[in-house]
């Protein structure tokens, strides 16, 4: 190899190849840094949306984008009868729960309600579940319910379902998802509606 006027000359037998030195250096540096790129966490055997995810306790509903820089995650809807309840209240109708207003992060909402000194039956029911060896269930946020209505509505009764998202405007209300037509609305926390627990896998 020879350096001539900022070009590199490579000889292989009788053949001669001339390349710009800058181009060769860039390719070499790119090769050094390629192995340092961050790798996403991959869950082997991720099923198609609407299929049962073996070993994960339910049906795969799709990917939710993480909120405020948090990791994205797979959303899983359990099919076990214990993961659904027909009539339950959200609870503590006259109490403002400022840490349970996320429209996307049902886990943080549920944790806030579960740890509150006030009673929140729907969230407490979801957090208390233990199904197929999993105990990380929670009450989904309103946008998580939107994803489930879009991707796996067949898994739900065509009725109103509680979310874990308290209304921003009224402390005595919380958001619901209607699985007949996709409509969302808020209603009084002391009313009884259906609820469905979910779990997630971080990507």
The whole-number pLDDT of residue 185 equals: 98
Q: What is the pLDDT along the chain (203 residues), one digit of tens a residue?
A: 544 456 756 565 666 666 676 665 655 555 544 444 433 455 678 999 999 999 999 999 999 999 888 999 999 999 999 999 999 999 999 899 999 999 999 999 999 999 999 999 999 999 999 999 999 999 999 999 999 999 999 999 999 999 999 999 999 999 999 999 999 999 999 999 999 999 999 99
Please give the C-alpha separations between residue 200 and each of 87, 113, 140, in angstroms, as whole numbers: 24, 18, 10
Enter the pTM of the model: 0.79
Check whether residue 7 and residue 69 sit in a common domain.
Answer: no
Residue 41 lies in a domain: no
The whole-number pLDDT of residue 165 equals: 99
Angstrom distance (rounded) from CA 64 to CA 70: 11
Check whether residue 95 and residue 24 sit in a common domain.
Answer: no
Check whether residue 127 and residue 155 sit in a common domain.
Answer: yes
Residue 106 lies in a domain: yes
The whole-number pLDDT of residue 158 equals: 98
Residue 195 lies in a domain: yes
Check whether residue 106 and residue 9 sit in a common domain.
Answer: no
Check whether residue 20 and residue 90 sit in a common domain.
Answer: no
The whole-number pLDDT of residue 22 equals: 66
Helix (H, G, I), strand (E, B) or coil at 21: helix
Residue 6 lies in a domain: yes
Check whether residue 28 and residue 90 sit in a common domain.
Answer: no
The whole-number pLDDT of residue 52 equals: 97
Check whether residue 9 and residue 63 sit in a common domain.
Answer: no
Angstrom distance (rounded) from CA 139 to CA 96: 18
Angstrom distance (rounded) from CA 44 to CA 174: 37
The whole-number pLDDT of residue 16 equals: 67
What is the count of structural domains for the chain? 2
The whole-number pLDDT of residue 68 equals: 87
Check whether residue 67 and residue 149 sit in a common domain.
Answer: yes
Residue 46 lies in a domain: no
The whole-number pLDDT of residue 157 equals: 98
Check whether residue 12 and residue 69 sit in a common domain.
Answer: no
> What is the domain extent for residue 29?
2-34
Check whether residue 94 and residue 6 sit in a common domain.
Answer: no
The whole-number pLDDT of residue 20 equals: 72
In 10 A of CB 88, how many CB atoms? Answer: 19
CA angle at 137 for the pair 131 and 139, rounded to the nearest 5°: 135
Instruction: Kindly provide the residue ranges of all beta strands, DSSP E only, lying in 55-146, ordered along the sequence.
Output: 58-64, 73-77, 84-89
Check whether residue 77 and residue 126 sit in a common domain.
Answer: yes
The tokens of 179 are what?
A: 């699985």
Check whether residue 111 and residue 182 sit in a common domain.
Answer: yes
The whole-number pLDDT of residue 200 equals: 98
């Amino acid at each position: 190899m020879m350096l001539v006027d900022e070009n590199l000359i490579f000889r292989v037998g009788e053949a001669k190849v001339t390349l710009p030195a800058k181009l060769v250096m860039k390719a070499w540096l790119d090769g050094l840094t390629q192995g340092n790129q961050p790798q996403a966490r991959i869950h082997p055997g991720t099923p198609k949306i609407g299929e049962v995810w073996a070993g994960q306790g339910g049906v795969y509903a799709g990917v939710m984008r993480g909120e405020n820089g948090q990791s994205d995650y797979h959303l899983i809807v359990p099919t076990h009868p214990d993961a659904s309840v027909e009539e339950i209240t959200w609870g503590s109708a006259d109490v403002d729960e400022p840490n349970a207003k996320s429209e996307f992060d049902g886990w943080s909402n549920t944790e806030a309600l579960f740890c509150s000194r006030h009673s929140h039956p729907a969230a407490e029911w979801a957090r208390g579940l233990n199904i197929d060896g999993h105990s990380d269930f929670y009450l989904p946020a309103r946008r998580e319910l939107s994803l489930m209505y879009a991707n796996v509505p067949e898994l739900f009764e065509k009725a109103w379902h509680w979310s874990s998202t308290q209304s921003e405007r009224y402390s005595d209300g919380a958001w619901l998802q209607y699985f007949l037509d996709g409509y969302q609305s808020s209603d009084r926390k002391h009313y009884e509606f259906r609820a469905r627990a979910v779990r997630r896998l971080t990507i």
